Structure 1
């Protein structure tokens, strides 16, 4: 794969120029963006997948749902429906996409979840609903310039920060690094729990935030338990299981399990993988399967896997969370 990316290096200037020009057209008002008088918060990245957008959206839901009517709006990647879709009891991963369905499955009593590739239409439909959210959280919409979110949170991983990367097809960036200037806050995700003050300062020097931008550091906290829809098991007591992942980067999860000296076989699929019936039949032979919460959304309805399929939840921990939460609430208060 790396060899192929290097072969396509001559196309990098073309991709760079096209995406740079598109941004300039929006920046200068030649292409129109829609802004809103109520709070619209966008969580996104510059790179292709794997920066932790889903747990960040869930973090925002947790700190906001008690005080506001909150809605999430996603594209609904790889869903089998089209247009605007509001999450309801009959929905599943095919209807909504795995990540929006995860939001709905976890927070359905507290928020609204919707999907629409046209975020402008999606926001209008949400605001016209009986629920009429106070706040809309846009999932993975940093490059969706037709909507001008009031607050942009840009995520970049500790292991592969955007300032060390290149645009597609040789690198993983969806647009030039200069796009980071549109962010109001930059969060370096998946940091080691023992990240030092000097390491943070070195990252800040590389990021070079504007005076108006704030930079935060976050890490992933894995649960000590795994869950099915009916049961809970202590992770430390499990061994000789099959780990199934269909996410952009499974390395942190694998490292976490290895650090616990657990024995497992890892089946690693591409991000948002749609499992075939043959693959399900192969998994049905296994006695115990541990997967991510996102993958669980796609696998949990297969009868062949009932009783043997469990997921390991994660949550985001933000360094200096009081400052981060205050920043978010401060923005909301200026809009309400």
Structure 2
């Protein structure tokens, strides 16, 4: 695998040249970048894969929704619709995208919108009276100039080379981190040492002295996926779990469940996988093969939105199907710094 990546380096150089030219055209003003007179916060990453953008967006919603009329905006990856769309709780993932639907069902009082054209989306939300807009996964969307940019890095990927696609996992140059207002290293283990954190800080530091903060993942109680199903469940050492995931990086969830139960059968699909009836038949069959009467099907909040599609959910009625809510858990000192920076930005006139 390493040799294959090395062979792809010439293509990474070509890709790097293309994104370097694009970024410089925006930096030099030859391509137009639109700024807004409202609080516009971007959450993003440089590498492909899951770095915890959704938990960060949810953290910001909880922090900022009491302080103004807030909306979230994303592309709505995986949806079958186009253009601007305000997400409703009774939408399907195919109409609005799985993550926006997750946000709306979790925060029904908050406006959740999708639009592949972020400038158009923000403009529409401002015209409808919103004064704080959080954009999920828009760091590379240079046509929009955010007022505050939060850049995320996966703790477990910090020791890997910063190679660009296709040889590496970076979709933007590592030096573009200098455009951030704060950097957060997510999925930090509880046992991470200060020496290891210092090593990561040195690797991420820039001349701008951008704050580099650390946050881990917190896991909530199991929650039923299907609204018409009832019954509580808890993880324990004698239980078995069929873990069903269609996310970029399920490793942290797998590790967490491994510490809680005796057996895990993992059925892993690609990120934003559009589950078919054939997939669910395989899930049901594999679940039936687990030889433990104390067994559950566990999935993620994002997958749960797709599993609630009518044709899919009908096949899972009566099964013990649960999702695991997750949230960011900052180091207390880092959390104070993060909140101070975000709230200071939102309290300024724009």
Residue 321 (1) aligns with residue 335 (2) = yes
Contact between 2:79 and 2:96, CA under 8 Å: does it hold in 1? yes
Q: Residue 150 of structure 1: CA displacement? A: 0.3
The range that moved more, 29-38 or 239-248, is 239-248
Residue 310 (1) aligns with residue 314 (2) = no
SS at 2:123 equivalent: helix
Q: Residue 304 of structure 1: CA displacement? A: 1.1
Task: Give the match for residue 96 of structure 1.
Answer: 96
Q: Residue 276 of structure 1: CA displacement? A: 1.6
Distance 1:42 1:275 in 2: 30
Task: Give the match for residue 300 of structure 1.
Answer: 308
Distance 2:247 2:187 in 1: 14
SS at 1:297 equivalent: helix
Task: Give the match for residue 34 of structure 1.
Answer: 34
Compared with structure 1, are the counterparts of its residues 225 and 88 closer, same or farther at alpha carbon in structure 2 (3 Å cutoff)?
Answer: closer
Residue 167 (1) aligns with residue 179 (2) = no
Contact between 1:152 and 1:182, CA under 8 Å: does it hold in 2? yes
Residue 222 (structure 1) aligned to one of 219, 222, 231: 219
Aligned pairs (5 A) from 1:1-336: 4-109=4-109, 111-129=110-128, 132-161=129-158, 164-228=161-225, 229=227, 230-236=230-236, 239-285=239-285, 286=287, 288-301=296-309, 302-308=313-319, 309-319=321-331, 320-335=334-349
TM-score (norm 1): 0.94
Distance 1:147 1:238 in 2: 51
Distance 1:5 1:249 in 2: 20
Contact between 1:163 and 1:177, CA under 8 Å: does it hold in 2? no
Compared with structure 1, are the counterparts of its residues 260 and 89 closer, same or farther at alpha carbon in structure 2 (3 Å cutoff)?
Answer: closer
Distance 1:241 1:198 in 2: 36
Contact between 1:44 and 1:154, CA under 8 Å: does it hold in 2? yes
Distance 2:346 2:34 in 1: 18
Gaps of at least 5 residues in structure 2 are: 289-295
Contact between 2:235 and 2:260, CA under 8 Å: does it hold in 1? no
SS at 1:294 equivalent: helix
Q: Residue 281 of structure 1: CA displacement? A: 1.9
Q: Residue 200 of structure 1: CA displacement? A: 1.6
Contact between 1:300 and 1:306, CA under 8 Å: does it hold in 2? no
Distance 2:232 2:122 in 1: 37
Cα RMSD, aligned residues only: 1.8
The range that moved more, 213-222 or 281-290, is 281-290
Distance 1:184 1:61 in 2: 18
Distance 1:105 1:16 in 2: 39
Q: Cα deviations across residues 281-314 of structure 1 (Å, max 9, x unaligned)?
A: 2223436311011001100231111232210111
Compared with structure 1, are the counterparts of its residues 122 and 234 closer, same or farther at alpha carbon in structure 2 (3 Å cutoff)?
Answer: same
SS at 1:315 equivalent: strand
TM-score (norm 2): 0.90
Distance 2:231 2:179 in 1: 44
Gaps of at least 5 residues in structure 1 are: none
SS at 2:143 equivalent: coil
Compared with structure 1, are the counterparts of its residues 241 and 200 closer, same or farther at alpha carbon in structure 2 (3 Å cutoff)?
Answer: closer
Q: Residue 6 of structure 1: CA displacement? A: 3.4
Q: Cα deviations across residues 46-101 of structure 1 (Å, max 9, x unaligned)?
A: 00121110000001111111222110000011101001010124412111111111
The range that moved more, 260-269 or 325-334, is 260-269
